[in-house]
Structure 1
């Protein structure tokens, strides 16, 4: 694991050096690249959003109530065509025990275009639900009831836990340096990082189980195999002299981290995610909507502290 971390750090350092060279030799292309990355990164960093919730039952190995949160998420690719598999992202099961009942919650995500296309087509909507249930059965080796119904509420459980569950993704930078060296352009990197942000195995369902319709491919989590700690942090809303809220300031302590390049930061108007590979992960729902374009981050090296300033909209 230590060797893997050093290798990733070396690749990241080389990548940033190449960006520095581009900034010096071709400022206009560098500026265009950064602007494009910020725009696309903003879209991709937005978390999954719940659309509707289903209730069914687990029959085997243990009978239990199951809630399936169907979500939309731009990070899940849209199918290339009607003849191609439909990508799906399946989160880990979360077992919940309450005083009067025990149940399991599993969150599933499709690309927004897939769900929007099924809004007025009940047959298509039912097909997506059936495919999701089939995918859950195959992945977790369980048997589900064939009957289900939509609940009155949009989702079951905590929206923060749902997002954390589905967003546990690692980025692979192994091909970035080679692509830049071969083609001497950042366009290849942009295309690689946007079209293939993650490297997922595929699961194809048998045709006879989906009535000859397009198949489905599962995007399984690339889960981090070490304990990710929640770092100590302090969030406060800064107000002016008239007590009007101006901005949100977040201070995150990251002991053992000595460079900002090790911190993966994603900010949307409603939430924030910080990941330091193999060390820390922090996901927060923000108390107020923020201006992501004006958000700034500062890393204090001698204190291993990250300070994020997010103006309010």
Structure 2
């Protein structure tokens, strides 16, 4: 143990003596202090909550769909100032099978204040997302597609799974965190004439999380990061019907000037949406008007016209 039993007993005795003195000399201050500590303790140990979900792709070591759940969590401290690095926590990757699809989910947590502020500034929001993707690449040894889009849903997978994942990282260091909190509270009572909200201790990681590269866990957002601008191509979306006017398929034609190889096209289709990314030049995300059969979907590129045709049978 870092602190002997005698030393710990001495600190606890001092702590309770100070509380007793405060309760006797200033009951109102004592009451406010206890209520404040209970509120902060409740927030501190509350689990993460979903904020938004991103979809991108893992390119290496194995190409696969990736969903990133950006979560807000009070246990993640906010940066001390605008010039300090922004702390975040990256969960363990989990492979999930759903119907005929298999994809990977990674949970990333920020302090709620950081995410709320980014909602008002699209540049900051994009920078937070890029930083999360960079951290995932460094920590998990993935190579990700530089492109992403924000899904209509806030979380992929269950909230319970996400909380188990992120809170499991924190569980190994709970004893250290509680000790730091007690020491901070004791020092606060000794040195303060007025009780002010305590700053949360920084998120600590177990040894197996910091053995390798740790730079991605606390990084500073760079305002000079260059962004690749991807244009939305011209397209036509048609629903093909039979003689009885029953919808059969959705046909999408996308004009891609300068593209003459299907290998440059990255196509992702789900039951209700579609994403096309082409060689960091074009990006098209569409919500489909009808549910489609992803297994029967086909795509072909007419080189002479630089036109991609995607045919999606309806479910």
Q: TM-score range by the shorter chain?
A: 0.5 to 0.7
Task: Name the CA shift for 1:43/1:58 in 2 (closer, same or farther; >3 Å).
Answer: same
Q: Corresponding residue for 1:20?
A: 16
Cα contact 1:14–1:177 (8 A) shared by 2 = no
Task: Find the counterpart in structure 1 of residue 82 from structure 2.
Answer: 82
Distance in 2 between the 1:111 and 1:206 partners?
A: 12
Give runs of aligned pairs for residues 39-58 of structure 1, distance below 5 A: 39-58=39-58
Report matched runs for 1:166-245 at 5 Å.
Answer: 166-168=166-168, 169=170, 170-172=174-176, 173-174=178-179, 185=190, 194-199=199-204, 203=215, 210-212=222-224
Q: Does 2:101 correspond to 1:101?
A: yes
Contact in 1 for aligned 2:70/2:107 (Cα 8 Å): yes
String of CA shifts for 1:94-116, please: whole Å, max 9, x gaps: 12123412111111112222222
Structure 1: gaps spanning 5 or more residues? 214-313
Residues in 2 aligned to 1:85 and 1:136: alpha-carbon distance in whole angstroms: 17
Count of residue pairs the alignment pairs up:
208
- The alignment partner of 1:185 has SS state of helix
Cα displacement (A) at 1:150:
1.3
How far is 1:212 from its partner? Answer: 3.1
Secondary structure in 2 aligned to 1:167? helix
Residues 178, 75 of structure 1: alpha-carbon distance in 2 compared, 3 angstrom cutoff: closer
Distance (Å, rounded) in 2 between the aligned partners of 1:55 and 1:167: 23
Aligned-pair CA distance for 1:171: 4.1
Secondary structure at the counterpart of residue 97 of structure 1: strand
In structure 2, do the counterparts of structure 1 residues 23 and 127 end up closer, same or farther at CA, with 3 Å as the change threshold?
closer
| 8 Å contact kept, 1:22–1:30 | no
TM-score (norm 1): 0.55
Cα gap change, 1:206 to 1:94, in 2 (>3 Å): closer
Q: Deviations over 1:247-298 (max 9, x none)?
A: xxxxxxxxxxxxxxxxxxxxxxxxxxxxxxxxxxxxxxxxxxxxxxxxxxxx
Using structure 2 for the length normalisation, give the TM-score: 0.55
The alpha carbon displacement at 1:88 in A equals 1.3
> Structure 2 unaligned runs (5+)?
226-315
**Preserved contact between residue 131 and residue 219 of structure 2 (Cα < 8 Å):** no
Do the aligned partners of 2:78 and 2:86 also contact (CA within 8 Å) in 1? yes
Cα contact 1:91–1:108 (8 A) shared by 2: yes
Question: Structure 2 vs 1, CA of residues 110 and 174 (structure 1 numbering), >3 Å: closer, same or farther?
Answer: closer
**2:69 aligned partner:** 69
- Report the Cα distance in structure 1 between the residues aligned to 2:4 and 2:64, rounded to whole angstroms: 42
C-alpha distance in structure 2 between counterparts of 1:138 and 1:120, whole Å: 28
Maintained 8 Å contact 1:51/1:71: yes
Q: Deviations over 1:71-111 (max 9, x none)?
A: 12222222222222111121111121234121111111122
Q: Equivalent residue for 1:124? A: 124
> How big is the shift at 1:131?
0.8
In structure 2, do the counterparts of structure 1 residues 13 and 121 end up closer, same or farther at CA, with 3 Å as the change threshold?
Answer: same
Distance verdict in 2 for CA 1:81–1:15, change over 3 Å: same
Distance across 1 between alignment mates of 2:17 and 2:217:
47
